[in-house]
Amino acid sequence: MGVQLTKRAKPVDRRPMTWLESLYLWNIMKGMAVTIKHFFSRKVTIQYPEEKRSYSDVFRGLHILNRDEEGRERCTACGLCAVACPAEAISMEAAERKPDEEHLYREEKYAARYEINMLRCIFCGLCEEACPKDAIYLSKTHAPANYHRKGFIYKKEDLLIPNPLTEPEEYKKALGTIKREPKS
């Protein structure tokens, strides 16, 4: 045996098996005992999606693009979230607000296109930290499974929180349990 880095290595028993050992009865019984023990012990499997495990308070899930209390989109397409993202998962295109769109967008500039590639995202939360407008945060839901890659490209329409004025119930549901301080 070479140099041992730990004391865990055990020498292999290379003696020829006896007739009784070659029947593997004792080993089968040991295996069955493990199976029976687990059969009657408390089940730890969660029957998802019928049953859902509660998440930790610090869980970071699917992103939400936020609106203000008047239902206007907060995002100004400044790009700070995209710059902060270590996975380069965020892309966007900015557009200028027109005079008759003041009820839609909070600032003069807004994101005409905003996308997050959830296959790249590592849910680190740096986009949320970087945003100066409280426009993006990570919720307590996760991206559902999908058979296609393009199903993981979340567009602005997928990410935008429901309007609190027109869909108050949906808005509350989307806010989840995250405690949020209003920013000006």
Q: Binding to ligand SF4 (CB under 6 A): which residues in 70-89? A: 75-81, 84-87, 89
Report H helices in 86-130: 126-130
Residue 159 sits in the site that holds ligand SF4 (CB under 6 A): no
Closest contact distance (angstroms) between CB of 11 and ligand SF4 is 48
Closest contact distance (angstroms) between CB of 64 and ligand SF4 is 10
Q: Can you give the length of the chain in residues?
A: 184
Residue 116 sits in the site that holds ligand SF4 (CB under 6 A): yes
Residue 64 sits in the site that holds ligand SF4 (CB under 6 A): no
Number of amino acids touching ligand SF4 (CB under 6 A): 28
Rounded to 10 degrees, the C-alpha dihedral 86/127/63/82 comes to: -70
Closest contact distance (angstroms) between CB of 155 and ligand SF4 is 14
Write out the two tokens for 84: 């902060």
Residue 175 sits in the site that holds ligand SF4 (CB under 6 A): no
SS3 of 95, please? strand
DSSP letter, residue 140: S
Closest contact distance (angstroms) between CB of 136 and ligand SF4 is 4
Closest contact distance (angstroms) between CB of 9 and ligand SF4 is 41
Neighbour-count burial for 107-126, b at 16+ CB within 10 Å, e otherwise: beebbeebbbbbeebebeeb
Q: Binding to ligand SF4 (CB under 6 A): which residues in 3-62? A: none
Q: Binding to ligand SF4 (CB under 6 A): which residues in 118-147? A: 121-127, 130-131, 133, 135-136
Measured from the CB atom, is 85 or 162 closer to ligand SF4?
Answer: 85
Question: 118 to each of 10, 98, 114, 144, how far by Cα in Å?
Answer: 45, 31, 13, 10
- Give the Cα separation of 75 and 135 in Å (integer): 5
**What does the binding site for ligand SF4 look like in residue numbers (CB under 6 A)?**
75-81, 84-87, 89-90, 92, 111, 116, 121-127, 130-131, 133, 135-136
